[in-house]
Structure 1
Amino acid sequence: MEAVELRVSEPVSDEALNGLFASAWEGHAQRSFQPVLSRSLLYVCAYAGRELVGFVNVATDGGQHAFLLDTCVHGRLRRNGIGKALVRKAVQVASLAGITWVHVDYEPSLHHFYQACGFRPSAAGVLRVAA
């Protein structure tokens, strides 16, 4: 595998993000990411050469809390440390921006991944309000 470069909050196209998300999540529906990215505290993209191969978004409450969203790595490149590098970079840059707490919601199958990134479980709730 060639070296992966992490870039923080550099412009990224909807085409590149939709391609990545389609490789990472079955049933991904094409959409515009720009409205979300414009409101993000930051986001980190991973590139192998010119190809977008990973992404994580960091949203904020405008205070001390931030939230990881949409962590993904291209399907063919998983289990190479890209996801952990993305999360660690996002947390590092968020901390430099004054964030004290970083939260993440995840499926049970991702527990070990986020634990390896330094997260610990905490009680929380989630409610899906749209189908």
Structure 2
Amino acid sequence: MKHEICINLPIAPLEVPTLRELVGWEGRHSDYPILFKRCNFWAGCRDAKNELIAFGYIAGMGLQHGYMEDIIVHPQFQKKGIGQAVVRKLLEEAERVGLEIVTLTYDSKHTSFYTESGFIPCSGGLWSVAGT
């Protein structure tokens, strides 16, 4: 089955936290639906049962630079190209709206996924209240 990736797919507040938990991340229930109001745009897709199986978004000022985050694919649908399709759709939308630079951070085990998606690894920095 081919899964259609949609920009600004209508998503209920509990759907993304549920998907986050399915991949072993903290649900961050209080982030939704606030995130949908604050990010530039998001992408997602559903399975044949209309359940959310993939999600990702780009946030930022929306002028020249955006930050891609939370590329999530339901465990039963991983390794089928859906994650890269979400990334491609987000980058197409970024280009359409005039973003010239999109950055992201990722665990080094995902380097090949993101280089295959068109990203160039580079150094950077991280500041966190928790100090990590």
TM-score, normalisation: structure 1? 0.91
Counting only pairs closer than 5 Å after superposition, residues 102-121 of structure 1 correspond to structure 2 as 102-121=102-121
Aligned position for 2:56: 56
Correspondence list, 1:52-131, <5 A: 52-130=52-130
> Structure 2: how far apart are the matches of 1:87 and 1:124?
21
Q: Is the 8 A contact 2:6 2:44 kept in 1?
A: yes
Partner of 1:35: 34
The alpha carbon displacement at 1:62 in A equals 3.0
Question: C-alpha distance in 2, partners of 1:21/1:122?
Answer: 26
> 1:106–1:4: structure 2 CA closer, same or farther, 3 Å change rule?
same
Give the Cα separation in 1 of the matches to 2:62 and 2:25.
32
Aligned-CA RMSD value: 1.5
The size of the alignment, in residue pairs, is: 130
For 2:25 and 2:123, how far apart are their aligned partners in 1?
28
In 2, distance between residues paired with 1:11 and 1:28?
19
Aligned-residue offset at 1:83: 0.3
| Percent pairwise identity | 25
Q: Which amino acid aligns with 2:63?
A: G
Q: Matched residue of 1:31: which SS?
A: helix
Gaps of 5+ in 2: none
Structure 1 unaligned spans of 5+: none
- Conserved 8 A contact 2:7-2:42: yes
Q: Which one-letter code corresponds to 2:67 in the other structure?
A: F
SS at match of 1:22: helix
Cα distance in structure 2, aligned partners of 1:33 and 1:67: 18
Higher strand share: 1
Q: Give the equivalent residue in structure 2 for 1:15.
A: 14
Partner-residue secondary structure (3-state), 1:14: coil
Q: How far does the alpha carbon of each residue in 1:3-49 deviate from its partner, in whole angstroms, 9 at most, with x for none?
A: 21211113211221122111112444533421111111100011112
CA distance in 2, matches of 1:11, 1:27: 22
Q: Partner amino acid for 1:4?
A: H
**Which one-letter code corresponds to 1:96 in the other structure?**
R
